[in-house]
Amino acid sequence: MPPVARQLSVRAIMETILLNGPTSRAMLAKHTGLSRQTTTQVVLELERDGWLEVSGKMQGKLGRSAPTYELTAGSAYVLGIRLEGEIAQIALANIRGEVVGEIAAATDPRGGTHVVRQIGLLYRELTDRLGVPRDRVKLVVVGSPGVVDPVTGHIDIAPSIPHLGDINVVEELRAEIGVPLTIENGVKLSALGELWQGVARGARNFAYFGVGRGVGMGIVADGKLLRGGRGAAGEIAYLPLGGNPFDPSGFASGTFETAANVDALQRRYEAYGGGPGFSVTDILAAYGQGEAAAVAAIDETARLLALAIGAVHAVIDADLIVFGGSIGLRPEIVERVRGLLPRLMREPPKVEASALADRATLVGALGEALHRLHAELFGVEAVRRELTLSDLGKGRAPR
């Protein structure tokens, strides 16, 4: 079989198995339009090379049974990493998209190279514990704060982890782990996580707002993640809302982020007469009791978020806004924003809280890594293999 024809045949067969699960050779021929001879030849070659295995039997109309084939679970793995100011979290998934293990630790407060070494230690501990050969880990996708400079590999606009902007994070992590590696903005991966496994399944045009210690946005337009020319699409922290956008002090964190994040909510609450040192949870509890300072602080925060949605919606025409983060996930915030939007625009988008909560970035990282692996190995571009969230279920504590 000519190389190009074989590549196309492999792509068609693997795409069918990814979409449908265990499939017989007869059904593969039917779905792909390939001849039975070509299908049998390609399947047996993939089985010989370790990519496919017999998973069971399918009963035929005349009583005969035929073997069904699926991806060999241990033939390859991908790694997803969630790196934030307070946590470094790693999960390993096999080529089928089944999550086989997870590990997490508090991020090294020294930042920079210390965090890189920490991730390497966690990776080795996880693979050793699971008995996974590290040469079978083929791709890594990291979700991190900030924006990765494609030239220097430095991560800019990431104040939650010190000194990341001082090193080439991409190259240092590749050297530490020894696996091809990509770093994406964590909020953008959260958008992908919601698209594949969360509240945005089936959505073509939506935006994910991460609102917590920081403020960021991931945009999915026509079903694809929008990155922008320098990877900074969606940096809504710098919207000219909530303060003086010409004040250079806003260059570090952004005018909107300074006005809408956790610290801003706490400052606002105290300014309206609330007690000092209250957490977001405390303020929202006081809001539920009708305390005036809490009501005023939450209303102002919701008003700013509604304005940001109005600005974003005018540009990308989103059908859905998904809120995540320690502020964005709270139903009190979501409900208040929903109530404000009809006063702001004629046809407001639907607003929902994230279904994956703090798992969104990690699920997005694993999904992106699997998508890239399937494309690299088999030429499959369009299939998004769903993850089996055995170790990534919402609310389950990391081991």
Burial class (CB in 10 A: 0-12, 13-18, 19+), 286: buried
What 3-state class would DSSP assign to 210?
A: strand
Angstrom distance (rounded) from CA 215 to CA 369: 25
Per-residue model confidence as pLDDT tens digits over 315-345 = 999 999 999 999 999 999 999 999 999 999 9
Strands 320-324 and 350-353: parallel
Pairwise CA distance, residues 364 & 81, whole Å: 10
Q: Quick one: fold of 74-190+359-378? A: Nucleotidyltransferase; domain 5 (3.30.420)
Is residue 265 predicted with pLDDT exceeding 80?
yes
Q: How many CB atoms lie within 10 A of CB 132?
A: 18
Tokens of 396: 């389950």
CA proximity to 304, closest of 247, 256, 366: 256
User: Closest Cα partner for 68 from 37, 102, 99, 22?
Assistant: 22
47-61, 181-195, 274-288, range with the lowest pLDDT = 47-61
In this structure, of 79-93, 105-119, 219-233, 294-308, the range with the lowest mean pLDDT score is 219-233
Give the Cα separation of 183 and 170 in Å (integer). 7
CATH 3.30.420.40, applies to 200-354: yes
User: Are residues 356 and 194 in contact, defined by beta-carbon separation less than 8 angstroms?
Assistant: yes
pLDDT, greater one: 278 or 396: 278
The answer to whether 209 touches 305, Cβ cutoff 8 Å, is yes
Share of the chain above pLDDT 90, in %: 75
CATH 3.30.420.40 residue ranges of the chain are 74-190+359-378, 200-354
- Report pLDDT for 393: 41
Q: What is the pLDDT of residue 83?
A: 92
Cβ-proximal residues to 215 (8 Å cutoff; 6+ apart), any chain: 209, 236, 237, 254, 256, 257, 260, 261, 325
Give domain 3-71's CATH number out of 1.10.10.10, 3.30.565.10, 1.10.1040.10, 3.30.365.10: 1.10.10.10
Token pair 């009963």 is at which residue? Answer: 59
Report the pLDDT value the prediction gives residue 289, as an integer from 0 to 100.
Answer: 96
What confidence category does residue 398 fall into, taking pLDDT thresholds of 50, 70 and 90?
Answer: very low
Cβ-based neighbours of 344, under 8 Å, separated by 6 or more = 306, 307, 309, 310
Q: How many residues does the chain have?
A: 399
Is 290 a residue whose pLDDT tops 90?
yes
Instruction: Inform me whether the pLDDT recorded for 236 exceeds 90.
Output: yes
Q: What is the pLDDT of residue 1?
A: 65
| Pairing state between β 99-106 and 87-94 | antiparallel
In angstroms, rounded to a whole number, what is the distance separating the alpha carbons of residues 295 and 269? Answer: 9
Q: Give the pLDDT confidence score for residue 152 in this predicted structure.
A: 67
Q: What are the phi and psi torsion angles at 140 (to 5°)?
A: -130, 135
| pLDDT beyond 80 at 311 | yes
Is 357's pLDDT higher than 60?
Answer: yes
β-pairing, 77-83 vs 137-144, is parallel
Tell me whether strands 52-59 and 65-71 are parallel, antiparallel or unpaired. Answer: antiparallel
Phi, psi of 91 (to 5 degrees): -135, 145
**CATH 1.10.10.10 placement within the chain:** 3-71
d(CA 19, CA 17): 5
pLDDT at 59 over 60: no
Q: What is the pLDDT of residue 209?
A: 98
Q: Which two tokens stand for residue 118?
A: 């920490």
Residue 66 vs residue 258, higher pLDDT: 258
Measured in whole angstroms, the distance separating CA 287 from the mean position of its chain's CA atoms is 31
pLDDT at 167: 87
How far is 379 from 367, CA to CA, in rounded Å? 16
Provide the phi-psi class of 394: left if phi over 0, else alpha when psi is between -120 and 50, else beta.
beta
**Is the confidence at residue 250, as pLDDT, over 90?**
no
Mean pLDDT of the 53-75 span:
80
Q: Is residue 186 within 8 Å of 82, Cβ to Cβ?
A: yes
In which band, very low, low, confident or very high, does the pLDDT at 64 lie, cut at 50, 70 and 90? low
SS (H, E, C) 225-271: EECCCCCCCCCHHHCCCCCCCCCCCHHHHCHHHHHHCHHHHHHHHHH
Residue 397: per-residue pLDDT: 32
Interval 258-274 mean pLDDT? 96
The model scores a pTM over 0.85: yes
Is pLDDT above 80 for 146? no
- Has residue 394 got a pLDDT over 50? no
Average pLDDT rounded to a whole number, residues 131-137: 97
Task: Please tell me the distance from the alpha carbon of residue 208 to that of residue 227, in angstroms, as a whole number.
Answer: 13
Task: Give me the mean pLDDT over the 37-43 stretch.
Answer: 95
The pLDDT of residue 159 is above 70: no
What mean pLDDT value characterizes the chain?
90
Residues 6+ positions from 71 with CB-CB distance below 8 Å:
14, 17, 18, 51, 52, 53, 95, 96
For residue 23, the one-letter residue type is T
HSE-CB of 152 using CA atoms within 13 angstroms: 10
Element (H, E) at 287: helix 280-288
Q: Is the pLDDT of residue 395 over 80?
A: no
Q: How confident is the model at residue 399 (pLDDT cuts 50, 70, 90)?
A: very low
Query: Could you report the per-residue pLDDT of 365-379, keeping only the tens digit for each?
Result: 999 999 999 999 998
Would you give the DSSP letter of residue 348?
P
**Confidence (pLDDT) at 260:** 96
Neighbour-count burial for 245-266, b at 16+ CB within 10 Å, e otherwise: eeeeebeebbbbbbbbbbebbb
